[in-house]
């Protein structure tokens, strides 16, 4: 027939292929998607993140079959799932462990990006979609955590929603609008349920698809930061340093999945509470709007950012203001900003310095915490290193990264502890280190003797 498409496949598959790009998509994204052959351990975490997303969605669907999103019934419905629904306990533990493991996997996945410069041109958009996924994930976890309606659920939600009340002028009204009530209540629970179960999962799925499409459009990075598409090609025009994703990385990722499932199962079957970090003990007390537990802390994966929020006291705003003024001066004298930006940026920084001392520290705490995440979006433009991968940077850069990682972990630890003067000071120093790592990166990433980046990836035959 005229106009009918010709395909290579026959039978049922051929029928589908004439109407839907099934085989061509499988080829484009799996069997003929050439990925660098030198992926290492750090490259497992992308596929693991996708696995955990699927686990959370499937276990989530089954939990929703028995959970009751009503302030009077929610807590008991969770215990109902744990005791009375056949295998309900397993589904619940998979979901709670999966939530924490999602963050473990995503943090390690992002760390890989940091190490190997996977966010650099032409992969900025892959990174941006990724940070958007991270932000959505934080929201998803936050909304989900209210659902068991325990003491931690309730008071954590109360505190975080109150953060919005710190915004000047519109804050308090905004907080009431978010809650649907004057305090966190049944209204809040119902809307957080809708966000957690439907709204954000849809957003997450969309962003993950965009993330992978953007990646496949430009091709994956690798531990050496060498662009395989710019290297030698074989007789078919395929990169010599590339290897088809399927079957090589499908079987490779299967090993990662097996290892991950061992850790996952060990936690679920032998320590689902993880000492109170994965399932917090205070959350086994039903929510009581009249009584705050003596020690609230957010779940472990939020604690580094929580530290930064708590660190931003009135005194600390002096430090931040001072830093803004210093930056203004340095940029004006030594910076190479073009045209109007030469004046505008220092002026803006001076204005920020003034505002830091005018608006309450409470607001700036929120800004610091939010800023710590938002700054990740700008990473592709902050990194001015001539080489992509940490492998070819000066050794002292590696120490800087190590300091950043240790600092992040310390901030995390501090976030779980009750405040005291020493810890507060440590959090403040930690916040400065975290922010400086990014904000000063345009300067420090250029300094030092860089090693020669090879033309071909370093690969040792198995």
Smaller CB separation from another protein, 80 or 401: 80
Question: Of 128-136, 192-200, 228-236, 430-438, which segment contacts another protein by CB under 8 A?
Answer: 228-236
Taking CB under 8 A as the rule, does residue 304 contact another protein?
no
Dig out the tokens for 78 from the structure: 């969770």
HEC profile for the chain?
A: CCCCCCCCCCHHHHHHHHHCCHHHHHHHHHHCCEEECCCCHHHHHHHHHHHHHHHHHHHHHHHHCCCCCCCCCHHHHHHHHHHCCCCHHHHHHHHHHHHHHHHHHHHHHHHHHHHHCCCCCCCHHHHHHHHHHHHHHHHHHHHHHHCCCEHHHHHHHHHHHHHHCCCCCCHHHHHHHHHCCCCCCHHHHHHHHHHHHHHHHHHHHHHHHHHHHHHHHHCCCCCCCCCHHHCCECCCCCECCEEEHHHHHHHHHHHHHHHHHHHHHHHHHHCCCHHHCCCCHHHHCECCCCCCCCCCCCCHHHHHHHHHHHHCCHHHHHHHHHHHHHHHHHHHHHCCCCCCHHHHHHHHHHHHHHHHHHCCHHHHHHHHHHHHHHHHHHHHHHCCCCCCCHHHCCHHHHHHHHHHHHHHHHHHHHHHCCCCHHHHHHHHHHHHHHHHHHHCHHHHCCCCCCCCCCCCCCCCCC
Least separation, in Å, of the C-beta of 100 and another protein? 14
Q: Please, what is the minimum distance in Å from the beta carbon of residue 459 to another protein? A: 8
**Contact flag: residue 206 with another protein (CB under 8 A):** no
Stretch that binds another protein, among 123-131, 225-233, 301-309, 335-343 (CB under 8 A): 225-233
Please, what is the minimum distance in Å from the beta carbon of residue 310 to another protein? Answer: 18
Stretch that binds another protein, among 9-17, 44-52, 87-95, 433-441 (CB under 8 A): 87-95
Q: Which residues lie closer than 8 Å to 444 by C-beta, 6 or more apart?
A: 397, 400
Q: State which residue, 64 or 439, has the beta carbon closest to another protein.
A: 64
Of the two residues 169 and 236, which places its CB atom closer to another protein in the complex? 236
Q: How far out from the chain centre does Cα 439 lie? A: 19
Q: Which is nearer to another protein, 286 or 394 (CB)?
A: 286
- The interface region with another protein, picked from 10-18, 127-135, 242-250, 371-379 by CB under 8 A, is 242-250
Minimum distance from residue 242 beta carbon to another protein (Å): 7
Nearer to another protein, 172 or 276 (CB): 276
Among 80, 332, 401, 404, binds another protein (CB under 8 A): 80
Out of 262, 343, 344, 409, which residue is the one contacting another protein (CB under 8 A)? 262
Cβ 235 to another protein shortest distance, Å: 6
Work out whether 156 is an interface residue with another protein (CB under 8 A). Answer: no
Binding mask 46-65 for another protein (x = CB under 8 A): ------------x---x--x
Does residue 27 bind another protein (CB under 8 A)?
Answer: no
- By CB under 8 A, the count of residues binding another protein is 64
Name the segment binding another protein (CB under 8 A); options: 17-25, 197-205, 248-256, 383-391.
248-256
90 binds another protein (CB under 8 A): yes
Q: Which of 88, 225, 298, 430 binds another protein (CB under 8 A)?
A: 88
Question: Does residue 245 contact residue 31 with C-beta atoms inside 8 Å?
Answer: yes
Query: Of 3, 11, 237, 339, which one interacts with another protein (CB under 8 A)?
Result: 237
How far is 341 from 346, CA to CA, in rounded Å? Answer: 8
Comparison of 12 and 258: residue with beta carbon closer to another protein: 258
Give the interface with another protein as residue ranges (CB under 8 A): 37, 58, 62, 65-66, 76, 79-80, 82-91, 229-244, 247-248, 251-252, 254-255, 257-259, 261-262, 265-266, 268-270, 273, 275-277, 280-282, 284-286, 416, 459, 461-462
């Amino acid at each position: 027939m005229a106009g009918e498409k010709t395909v290579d496949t026959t039978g049922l598959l051929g029928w589908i292929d004439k109407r839907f790009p099934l085989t061509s998509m499988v080829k484009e994204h799996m069997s003929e998607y050439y990925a660098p052959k030198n992926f290492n351990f750090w490259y497992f975490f992308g596929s693991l993140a996708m696995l955990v997303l699927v686990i959370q969605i499937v276990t989530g669907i089954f939990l929703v079959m028995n959970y009751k999103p009503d302030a009077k019934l929610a807590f008991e419905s969770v215990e109902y799932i744990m005791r009375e629904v056949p295998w309900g306990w397993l589904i619940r533990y998979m979901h709670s462990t999966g939530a924490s493991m999602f963050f473990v996997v995503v943090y390690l996945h992002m760390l890989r990006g940091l190490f190997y410069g996977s966010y650099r041109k032409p992969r900025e958009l892959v990174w941006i979609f990724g940070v958007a996924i991270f932000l959505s994930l934080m929201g998803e976890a936050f909304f989900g955590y209210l659902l068991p309606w325990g003491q931690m659920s309730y008071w954590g939600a109360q505190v975080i929603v109150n953060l919005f009340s710190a915004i000047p002028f519109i804050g308090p009204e905004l907080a009431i609008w978010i809650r649907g009530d004057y305090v966190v209540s049944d209204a809040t629970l119902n809307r957080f349920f809708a966000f957690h179960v439907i709204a954000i999962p849809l957003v997450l799925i969309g962003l993950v698809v965009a993330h992978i499409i953007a990646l496949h459009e430009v091709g994956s990075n690798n531990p050496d930061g060498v662009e395989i598409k710019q290297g030698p090609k074989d007789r078919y025009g395929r990169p010599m340093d590339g290897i088809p994703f399927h079957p090589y990385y499908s079987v490779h990722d299967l090993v990662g999945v097996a290892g991950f499932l061992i850790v996952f199962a060990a936690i679920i079957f032998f320590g689902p509470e993880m000492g109170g970090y994965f399932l917090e003990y205070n959350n086994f007390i039903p929510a009581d709007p009249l009584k705050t537990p003596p020690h609230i802390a957010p779940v472990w994966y939020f604690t580094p950012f929580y530290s930064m929020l708590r660190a931003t006291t009135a005194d600390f705003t002096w430090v931040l203001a001072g830093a803004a003024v210093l930056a203004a001066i340095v940029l004006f004298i030594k910076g190479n900003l073009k045209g109007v930006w030469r004046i505008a940026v220092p002026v803006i920084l001076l204005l920020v310095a003034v505002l830091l001392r005018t608006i309450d520290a409470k607001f700036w705490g929120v800004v610091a915490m939010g800023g710590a995440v938002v700054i990740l979006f700008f990473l592709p433009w902050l990194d001015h290193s001539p080489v992509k991968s940490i492998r070819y940077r000066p050794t002292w850069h590696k120490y800087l990264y190590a300091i950043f990682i240790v600092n992040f972990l310390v901030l995390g630890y501090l976030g779980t502890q009750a405040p005291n003067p020493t810890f507060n000071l440590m959090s403040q120093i930690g916040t400065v280190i975290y922010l400086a790592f990014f904000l000063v990166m345009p300067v420090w990433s250029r300094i030092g003797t860089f090693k020669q980046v090879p033309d071909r990836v370093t690969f040792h035959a198995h």
